[in-house]
Structure 1
Amino acid sequence: MGIESTYEIHQNAYIKLILHASKHKTSAVNGVLLGRISGDSAVVEIVESVPLFHSQIGVLPPLEIALIMLDNKKFETLSKEGKDRSPVMQLYTKDASRSWKLVGSDGSSRLKIKQPSANVILLDYISSGKWKDIIDFDDHLDDISKDWVNTELFN
Structure 2
Amino acid sequence: MSKVSFSTLAYCKIVGHAAKYPHCEVNGLLIAESSNKGDNLIIVDSVPLFHQCLHVSPMSEIALTQIDQIASSCNMYIAGYYLANETLDDLSHDKPAHKIIDKIAEYESGVCLVVINNRLIGINQKESALIVHRQEEGKWKRHNGQVDNGTLEAASAVLQQQLYTNLIDFDNHLDNLSKDWLNLEFASSIEKLCGQENEKKLAINELIS
Gaps of 5+ in 1: 79-83, 104-109
User: Which residue in the other structure is 1:61 paired with?
Assistant: 58
**CA–CA separation in structure 2 for the residues paired with 1:30 and 1:57:** 7
Letter in 2 for 1:91: V
User: Which residue in the other structure is 1:107 paired with?
Assistant: none
User: Which residue in the other structure is 1:100 paired with?
Assistant: 140
- The higher relative CO (CA closer than 8 Å, separation ≥ 6) is in 1
Give 1:88's match in structure 2, choosing from 114, 118, 129: 129
Gaps of 5+ in 2: 77-124, 189-209
SS of equivalent to 1:90: strand
Structure that is richer in helix per residue: 2
**CA–CA separation in structure 2 for the residues paired with 1:152 and 1:26:** 24
Larger Rg: 2
The alpha-carbon deviation at position 36 of structure 1 amounts to: 4.2
- TM score, norm. by length of structure 2: 0.59
The alpha-carbon deviation at position 51 of structure 1 amounts to: 0.4
The alpha-carbon deviation at position 35 of structure 1 amounts to: 1.1
* CA 1:20–1:37: 2 relative to 1, 3 Å: same
Letter in 1 for 2:49: L
37-46 or 66-75, which deviates more: 37-46
SS of equivalent to 1:48: strand
Give 1:126's match in structure 2, choosing from 148, 154, 159: 159
Letter in 1 for 2:166: D
**CA–CA separation in structure 1 for the residues paired with 2:34 and 2:175:** 35
Cα-to-partner distance string for 1:23-61 (whole Å, 9 max, x where unaligned)? 010111110001148768621111110000111265211
SS of equivalent to 1:147: coil
- TM score, norm. by length of structure 1: 0.77
Cα-to-partner distance string for 1:81-135 (whole Å, 9 max, x where unaligned)? xxx99421222334442x33332xxxxxx1002x431111111111111011111
User: Which residue in the other structure is 1:136 paired with?
Assistant: 169
Identity %: 30
Letter in 2 for 1:102: R
C-alpha contact (below 8 Å) 1:38/1:44 kept by paired residues: no
C-alpha contact (below 8 Å) 2:34/2:75 kept by paired residues: no
User: Which residue in the other structure is 2:44 paired with?
Assistant: 47
User: Which residue in the other structure is 2:25 paired with?
Assistant: 28
C-alpha contact (below 8 Å) 1:34/1:47 kept by paired residues: yes
Give 1:111's match in structure 2, choosing from 107, 129, 145: 145
